Structure formats: structure tokens, C-alpha cells
């Protein structure tokens, strides 16, 4: 009987298809803050690994490059009691992001883990984290305007569906408040918000005050605060863009908001310098600036469908410097930029939009001729007033000396009233155009 059992057991093992494969593992050879080096580990760049002995404290790290036969990893988590020659094992590649309607109303981190306390995300689809390479002809033209609920933008810097716009300003000028106004009032099917590299307090404040109520139900938030690993910050930006791409593929109008593009570049700078890249302007290595076009170009309209991604990126101008490398690079890639002025904010004009350097490159394609003429009249009066502001305030200008200055002075209160808007009072696109054409008609 024992022989028969052994024979049957051995025959069953012989007939089973067993695909045995060795487990790949390496050892920690160096650790310097967030940067680690492993030996005996051959994995592709982007692979997530666990570092440390099981049960003795482990940390996640991502492979970011190679040097002298060693695999270079960047810490994704917090501190851990790591020792020399600690075990390094790959756990999977971060090649895909969870996407779909299951994410609506949820908040996730850079790794896709829910952080809103509502439990796991079930029923989500998959989308490549780095997107898919597309032909330039797959991008559709911007033909339809998008109502964002901000009078000055709707009337003077009209945004189109599928446009990429940058909000450029120094710190504390009102970028987050302006973003909140757009989130609440924008006529979009889905709003994807990437809060990258911001303070943890601002993340909680943004969720409770600017993405509350009905806006929360149609929003997906990817939050990666400033104290997280630079790799996680970049993955957060990629994840937010991938989520927006999946909704665009479903034919939806998506509003992608990323706050901020500068923090993404800062994360790229940290990684580039850790890998030994030479620093160029303002300490940015070439890879940090080259990463921005790859991220921005993923947004836009779909030429073969009805979906679109209208992307709004905040760009922090360090020291209010408009020639900062990130600001300059973003300005050359985006389809328009909105500049916020610290001087206007100090005068109590909110949103503090400086119309002079601000531009929407698609406005002439999506606005009516009467609308465009009225916008040009307002801009002309404002430019004339600002050129002669010192003379007017000093009383050196004599009324009647120049008809253009006289008109600019007469219209200036109406110009400021048009730009000003309370944060909790949305103004539709139709109302903004009607008010603009009614007051600033073409003489």
C-alpha cells in the first residue's frame, strides 16, 4: 500500500508543471541619506525594492540608475534600522497606475495608496504610469472654450478645452486660492488634482475648503507633501497625469491641476544631483528641465475622440524672478500663462492677475470677434494707465493733454472692478463676456 501511494505521489509530481525560478536579491553596499547602493542586484530602472531584513525593519526604495556595477536606489519611505549588507529584494515595477471611476472622491499618495481613511480602492483599471507615446497628429486643436468661473480669465485670458496653462507667481500671491476657484466652478466632467511638494497643512486645507461638497465627488486627488521622497514626488505627478489620461480615453472633459510644476523640477534636481549630473543654471541638471516637456505634452485634446485634458500648472517663481529656468522652460512649452502680481496683491486686488505679461495663445481661435475687440480695449486702457501711473499719482499730468490717458483714467476703476472677484462667487463665461463687451466696447 505504501509503495502504491509513493508511486502515485511521484507520478503526480512528475506530471505537474512546476515553473521553478530563483528569487532575485542583492545586498546593501552603501547608504547615504536617501541614496542607497546595492550589489548583486540586476533590475530595471523603476523597480521597487524592499531593503532590510524581514521582521527587523524594512524600507521601500526605487532603482534610479547604475554605477560601477552597482544598482543605485532612492529611499521611498521613512528611516529604518538598516545595517551593512542588508537584504535588497525587488517587489515589482511601478509601471502602472490605478485609474477609473473607482478613484472619484478619493485621495491617494504617490504610490497609489489611499490616504483618506475610506478603505482600499476596488474595481480600478490600469494605465501606464509614464503614459503612451503618441504622434503629434493624435493631438486635436483647441476649438471650444472652457468656463473656469473666474471673470478675468474667462473674459481676458479665455481657456480652451485641451489647453495647457501655467499660473506663474512668487510665494504668497494667491495661486492656491485661484486654483480653488477653478476647481469649484470649472465645467469639467472630472477634476484631477496633483498636490506635489506642498506643505502637509496646505494639503489638508485644500481638501477641506477648495475641494469640498459636490466638487469632491468628481475629483481625484494625488497628494505628495514636501517631506516625501523626491522619487515619490515625481511618481505623484506621473500618477495624476496617468489618471487624467484614462478619463480622456473614456471621452470625458478632464481638468488637470498640478500644484506645483516647480516642486516636480526640484525633485528631479535632487535625483539628478544624487546621480552625479553636472549642475547648470540655478543648480538644475539637464535631466530636471528635460523632464518637464515629457510631463506637459501628455495633456491636450484627443484628435480621434471627444475627450480632452485641460491642464493648469502652477509655477513658483523663486524670488519673483520671471527668468527662473523652470519658469522660462514652462513658458516656452505651455499654451499660455497667467502671471500673478505681488504689487496688485498688495493693493488688495484679488485675483492678482497681471494682464500685461499674461497671455492665452488660443483665445483668438475660441472667442468671438466682439469679445476679442473688447478685451483688447481693456488691455489698451490698462497699459496706458500703467505707463503713466507715476505722473497721474504725483498730479503731474494735466487732464486734457492726451485723450488716450484721459480715457485710461476714466476706465481704470472699471478695469479693477472687472479683475476683482470674491473667491466664493463664481462668474460664468457668458456673464464675463457680456460684462466685458458692455463696458469696454470698441470706440
**Full pLDDT tens readout for the chain, 443 residues:** 556 555 655 565 555 555 545 677 899 999 887 789 999 988 888 888 899 887 777 888 888 888 888 999 988 877 778 888 999 999 876 678 899 999 999 999 988 889 988 899 998 898 988 887 778 888 889 999 999 999 999 999 999 999 999 999 888 888 888 988 998 888 899 999 999 988 888 888 888 888 877 888 899 999 999 888 888 899 999 999 999 999 999 999 999 999 889 999 999 998 888 888 888 877 888 888 889 999 999 999 988 888 999 999 999 887 667 778 888 889 989 999 999 998 888 888 889 999 999 999 999 999 999 999 999 999 999 999 999 998 888 888 888 889 999 999 999 999 999 999 998 899 999 999 999 999 987 65
Query: Exposure string (b/e) for 186-206, b if CB count within 10 Å is 16 or more?
Result: bebebbbbbbbbbeeeebeeb
89 pairs with which residues across the strands? 50
Q: Is 385 helix (H, G, I), strand (E, B) or coil?
A: helix
Residue 127, Cβ density class (10 Å: 0-12 exposed, 13-18 middle, ≥19 buried)? buried
Q: Nearest CA to 54 among 75, 13, 92, 25?
A: 25
Tell me the C-alpha distance between 293 and 154, whole Å. Answer: 26
The distance from CA 268 to its chain's CA centroid, rounded to whole angstroms, is 14
288 Cβ neighbours under 8 A, 6+ residues apart: 265, 266, 268, 269, 271, 272
| Nine cell digits for residue 285 | 541638471
Tell me the C-alpha distance between 379 and 101, whole Å. Answer: 42
| Nine cell digits for residue 410 | 476714466
The distance from CA 402 to its chain's CA centroid, rounded to whole angstroms, is 46
pLDDT reported for residue 11: 60
Q: Nearest CA to 237 among 214, 266, 211?
A: 266
Tell me the C-alpha distance between 339 and 285, whole Å. Answer: 26
Of all helices (H) and strands (E), which one includes residue 316?
strand 308-316
Residue 264 · residue 67 · CB < 8 Å: no
C-alpha dihedral sign at 278, 283, 289, 295? positive
Of all helices (H) and strands (E), which one includes residue 24?
none
Domains of the chain (ranges; CATH) run 18-90 (2.40.10.170), 96-362 (3.40.50.12240), 370-441 (1.20.1270.330)
27 pairs with which residues across the strands? 39, 87
Tell me the C-alpha distance between 436 and 54, whole Å. Answer: 66
Q: Is 351 helix (H, G, I), strand (E, B) or coil?
A: coil
The distance from CA 32 to its chain's CA centroid, rounded to whole angstroms, is 30
Calculate the alpha carbon distances from 68 to 48, 65, 256 in Å: 20, 11, 40
pTM: 0.87
Tell me the C-alpha distance between 47 and 69, whole Å. Answer: 17
End-to-end Cα spacing for the chain: 108
Residue 197 · residue 231 · CB < 8 Å: no
Amino acid at each position: 500500500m505504501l509503495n502504491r501511494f509513493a508511486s502515485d505521489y511521484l507520478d503526480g509530481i512528475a506530471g505537474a508543471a512546476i515553473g521553478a525560478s530563483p528569487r532575485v536579491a542583492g545586498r546593501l553596499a552603501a547608504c547615504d541619506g536617501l541614496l542607497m547602493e546595492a550589489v548583486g542586484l540586476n533590475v530595471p530602472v523603476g523597480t521597487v525594492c524592499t531593503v532590510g531584513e524581514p521582521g527587523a525593519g524594512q524600507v521601500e526604495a526605487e532603482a534610479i540608475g547604475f554605477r560601477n556595477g552597482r544598482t543605485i536606489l532612492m529611499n521611498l519611505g521613512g528611516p529604518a534600522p538598516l545595517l551593512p549588507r542588508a537584504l535588497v529584494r525587488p517587489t515589482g515595477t511601478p509601471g502602472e497606475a490605478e485609474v477609473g471611476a473607482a478613484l472619484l472622491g478619493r485621495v491617494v499618495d504617490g504610490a497609489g495608496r489611499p490616504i483618506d481613511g475610506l478603505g482600499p480602492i476596488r474595481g480600478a483599471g490600469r494605465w501606464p504610469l509614464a503614459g503612451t507615446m503618441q504622434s503629434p497628429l493624435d493631438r486635436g486643436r483647441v476649438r471650444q472654450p472652457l468656463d473656469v468661473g473666474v471673470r478675468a480669465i474667462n473674459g481676458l485670458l479665455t481657456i480652451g478645452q485641451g489647453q495647457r496653462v501655467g499660473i506663474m507667481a512668487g510665494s504668497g500671491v494667491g495661486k492656491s486660492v485661484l486654483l480653488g476657484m477653478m476647481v469649484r466652478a470649472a465645467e469639467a466632467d472630472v477634476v484631477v488634482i496633483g498636490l506635489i511638494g506642498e506643505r502637509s497643512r496646505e494639503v489638508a486645507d485644500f481638501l477641506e475648503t477648495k475641494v469640498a461638497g459636490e466638487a469632491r465627488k468628481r475629483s481625484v486627488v494625488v497628494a505628495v507633501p514636501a517631506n516625501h521622497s523626491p522619487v515619490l514626488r515625481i511618481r505623484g505627478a506621473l500618477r495624476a497625469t496617468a489618471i487624467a489620461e484614462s478619463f480622456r480615453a473614456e471621452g470625458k472633459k478632464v481638468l488637470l491641476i498640478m500644484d506645483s510644476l516647480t516642486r516636480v523640477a526640484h525633485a528631479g534636481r535632487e535625483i539628478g544631483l544624487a546621480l552625479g549630473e553636472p549642475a547648470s543654471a540655478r543648480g538644475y541638471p539637464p535631466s530636471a528641465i528635460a523632464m518637464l516637456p515629457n510631463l506637459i505634452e501628455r495633456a491636450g485634446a484627443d484628435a480621434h475622440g471627444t475627450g480632452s485634458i485641460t491642464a493648469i500648472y502652477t509655477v513658483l517663481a523663486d524670488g519673483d524672478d520671471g527668468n527662473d529656468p523652470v519658469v522660462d522652460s514652462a513658458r516656452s512649452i505651455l499654451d499660455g500663462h497667467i502671471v500673478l502680481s505681488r504689487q496688485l496683491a498688495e493693493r488688495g486686488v484679488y485675483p492678482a492677475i497681471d494682464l500685461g505679461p499674461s497671455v492665452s495663445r488660443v483665445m483668438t481661435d475660441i472667442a468671438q470677434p466682439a469679445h476679442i475687440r473688447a478685451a483688447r480695449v481693456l488691455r489698451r486702457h490698462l497699459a496706458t494707465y500703467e505707463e503713466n501711473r507715476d505722473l497721474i499719482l504725483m498730479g503731474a499730468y494735466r487732464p486734457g493733454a492726451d485723450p488716450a490717458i484721459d480715457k485710461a483714467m476714466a476706465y481704470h476703476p472699471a478695469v479693477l472692478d472687472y479683475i476683482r472677484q470674491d473667491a466664493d462667487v463664481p462668474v460664468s463665461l457668458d456673464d464675463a463676456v457680456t460684462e466685458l463687451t458692455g463696458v469696454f466696447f470698441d470706440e
